Chains A and B, each alone.
Chain A
Amino acid sequence: MLQKNSDIMKSSQNRAIITVVGTDQVGIIARVSMALSNQNVNILDISQTILQDFFTMIMIVDLENAKISLQELQVILKENGEAIGVQINAQHEDIFKFMHRI
């Protein structure tokens, strides 16, 4: 248990959580995945659902070997989101770990 806690506290891993919220349409996942693959960002997991008519996607990605920093990725994703009218957030995984896991 102690081991697990200390794992959770480790912030050295360079993972981010990407959320996409907006009206469902063809090609959202394709577009986001393409943007990520262009920068060599590895997708570790995807979950997708329709919440109250809104397309909602959560991705966990690894930036360990990415060509760009998380800040630069945020800019690229934001532009992509605006182009198709969905909101894309990318945040370091630690913020969720700290708030929801002890």
Chain B
Amino acid sequence: MPISFAPEEIFETIHMIQAENLDIRTITMGISLRDCSCERISNTANKIYDKITKRAENLVRVGEDISKEYGIPIINKRISVTPISIVAESSAEEDYVILAEALDKAAQQVGVNFIGGFSALVHKGFTKGDECLIKSIPRSLAVTKRVCSSVNVATTRAGINMDAVYRMGRIIKETAELTKDQGAIGCAKLVVFCNAVEDNPFMAGAFHGVGEPEVVINVGVSGPGVVLNAIKSKPYADFGTLADIIKHTAFKITRMGELTGREAAKRLNVPFGIVDLSLAPTPAVGDSVSDILEAMGLERTGGHGTTAALAMLNDAVKKGGAMASSYVGGLSGAFIPVSEDAGMIRAVEEGSLGIDKLEAMTCVCSVGLDMIAVPGNTTAEVIAGIIADEAAIGMINKKTTAVRIIPVPGGKIGEKVEFGGLLGSAPIMKAHEYKPDVFIKRGGRIPAPITALTN
């Protein structure tokens, strides 16, 4: 049995993991909670806790076993659940905080650091459960550590629910206020979506969609450092060659996700869902999407040319990744969260990257204005305006967009707020101060675009 790999291949893999931060960002178990609805909300909470702790009992152990055997770090083990607005709706109770607490407790019990799905889908309007859930978000995020919340306010098919957009502007402000002692960290766990996907493994926006099976394993890979070094190795390559380098690298990265996902699904005896082809940065040095853009030849991310560079990167990652996995899904694209990417933070601090350029960048990548801190005096209406702009980009371009914005109470432009861990630290950025109030308060729904009429 001769060795069937060249030494270069073996050491390339080892180098990617040990020196270039190649890792599996997350194995996320999606769990349906549709059978947990009860008339009494305390019974619902108990059922939720029991189901999650039973289904995800071995998730963390299996993740750690795979990580050791293959020698590839798996950074996070996480859980996504059915949007809680759907699960809780049968109860007469209007306060859903108890359910957030049940999720938090279950997450702690099985040892995962985040659980997503304190969510509602309101792109066309609110049901009673949606109303109660949204009202419960600020307190839920304040009293729990691990629960993540998301609200889908728009789709290409339905248009933009502007009532929901305005309401989320106010909910974000309230969440910031209730968690102001910790730098408004509640807002880092709250995402407002357009065209939310049902099988996203990444937090804070993960939830287990209604079209998903009972239980499923989804995997998110990561590897900005590997792409960065591959690009650096060919500093003068033309764009065709550059795209090829990125595609080859993305292929290899994604294969790791495919392997891990299949193996985890087999060991946990649940179906394998998808690999999410995202390039997800971390605050670690050398694990930055911004560094990739600069390695492509930009002096600083945010300068002119950034959108084109990101568009090319994003597309090449998808082309390489799509060939590497039997099921691709989730968000699948480069992420540009400001606080979680050392290069983005530097670009903001040096004045080359602002909120407007970030908005433009979200047109060509996944996902949206992510982990952006703004001054504490930013009004709910301005935040709603930011959400509406992002939702419009997603709606017209038939893509997922999102806003995860943190109005830091008392925070001023140029200051920095620390969240710690993977959430990183966010420089407070300038948002436009001209008021969109009259526009935002019109109410109703922006109709679906003509591009939605595809049948």
Smallest CB gap from A8: residue in B: B4
The residues of B that contact A44 with a CB separation of less than 8 Å are 1
B70 within 8 A of A: yes
B84 within 8 A of A: no
The residues of A that contact B10 with a CB separation of less than 8 Å are 17, 19, 58, 96
Q: What distance in Å separates the Cβ of B9 from its nearest Cβ neighbour in chain A?
A: 5
Q: Identify B259's interface contact among A17, A45, A94, CB under 8 A.
A: A94
> A58 to B255, alpha carbons, bound, how many Å?
22
B13 within 8 A of A: yes
The residues of B that contact A40 with a CB separation of less than 8 Å are none
Q: Identify A60's interface contact among B1, B9, B70, B262, CB under 8 A.
A: B1
Assuming A71-B69, A92-B70, is B258 touching A98 (CB within 8 A)?
yes
> A98 to B149, alpha carbons, bound, how many Å?
35
Q: What distance in Å separates the Cβ of A97 from its nearest Cβ neighbour in chain B?
A: 8
Total number of residue pairs linking A and B with CB closer than 8 Å: 70
A91 touches B5 (CB 8 A): no
B1 touches A91 (CB 8 A): no
* Docked complex: A54-102 residues within 8 A CB-CB of B: 56, 58, 60, 62, 70-71, 74, 89-92, 94-96, 98-101
Interface residues as binary, B68-95 with A (CB distance below 8 Å gives 1, 0 otherwise): 1111100000000000000000000000
B2 touches A45 (CB 8 A): yes
A33 within 8 A of B: no
B71 touches A71 (CB 8 A): no
A-B contact pairs, 11 of them (CB 8 A): A11-B259, A58-B10, A60-B1, A71-B65, A90-B71, A91-B14, A94-B259, A95-B72, A96-B5, A98-B258, A99-B252
Q: What distance in Å separates the Cβ of A64 from its nearest Cβ neighbour in chain B?
A: 12
A37 within 8 A of B: no
A94 touches B68 (CB 8 A): no
For A51, A62, A98, the residue with the greatest tally of chain B CB atoms inside 10 Å of its CB is A98
> A96 to B2, alpha carbons, bound, how many Å?
15
A95 touches B9 (CB 8 A): no
The residues of B that contact A62 with a CB separation of less than 8 Å are 1
A23 within 8 A of B: no
Q: Identify A92's interface contact among B4, B7, B69, B252, CB under 8 A.
A: B69
B13 touches A70 (CB 8 A): no
> A74 to B69, alpha carbons, bound, how many Å?
8
A47 within 8 A of B: yes
> A18 to B268, alpha carbons, bound, how many Å?
27
B7 touches A49 (CB 8 A): yes
> A92 to B262, alpha carbons, bound, how many Å?
15
The residues of A that contact B11 with a CB separation of less than 8 Å are 19, 56
Smallest CB gap from B266: residue in A: A11
A45 touches B1 (CB 8 A): yes
> A95 to B252, alpha carbons, bound, how many Å?
10
A89 touches B3 (CB 8 A): no
Q: Identify A91's interface contact among B7, B70, B262, B263, CB under 8 A.
A: B70
The residues of B that contact A91 with a CB separation of less than 8 Å are 14, 69-71
* Docked complex: A18-51 residues within 8 A CB-CB of B: 19, 44-45, 47, 49, 51
* Docked complex: B1-57 residues within 8 A CB-CB of A: 1-5, 7, 9-14
* Docked complex: B263-283 residues within 8 A CB-CB of A: 263
Q: What distance in Å separates the Cβ of B69 from its nearest Cβ neighbour in chain A?
A: 5
The 8 tightest CB contacts between A and B, nearest first, are A91-B71, A44-B1, A98-B259, A98-B255, A95-B70, A100-B9, A45-B3, A92-B69
Smallest CB gap from B66: residue in A: A92
The residues of A that contact B72 with a CB separation of less than 8 Å are 95
Q: What distance in Å separates the Cβ of B93 from its nearest Cβ neighbour in chain A?
A: 47
> A4 to B453, alpha carbons, bound, how many Å?
45
B9 touches A96 (CB 8 A): yes
> A92 to B71, alpha carbons, bound, how many Å?
8
Q: What distance in Å separates the Cβ of A77 from its nearest Cβ neighbour in chain B?
A: 12
> A47 to B69, alpha carbons, bound, how many Å?
22
The residues of A that contact B2 with a CB separation of less than 8 Å are 45
Known pairs A47-B7, A60-B1, A100-B5. 6 more at Cβ < 8 A? Answer: A17-B5, A51-B7, A56-B7, A90-B71, A98-B258, A99-B252
A89 touches B71 (CB 8 A): yes
> A51 to B5, alpha carbons, bound, how many Å?
17
B256 within 8 A of A: yes
Interface residues as binary, B239-271 with A (CB distance below 8 Å gives 1, 0 otherwise): 000000000000010011011001100000000
> A58 to B2, alpha carbons, bound, how many Å?
11
> A49 to B255, alpha carbons, bound, how many Å?
28
Smallest CB gap from B2: residue in A: A45
> A91 to B2, alpha carbons, bound, how many Å?
17
The residues of B that contact A74 with a CB separation of less than 8 Å are 68
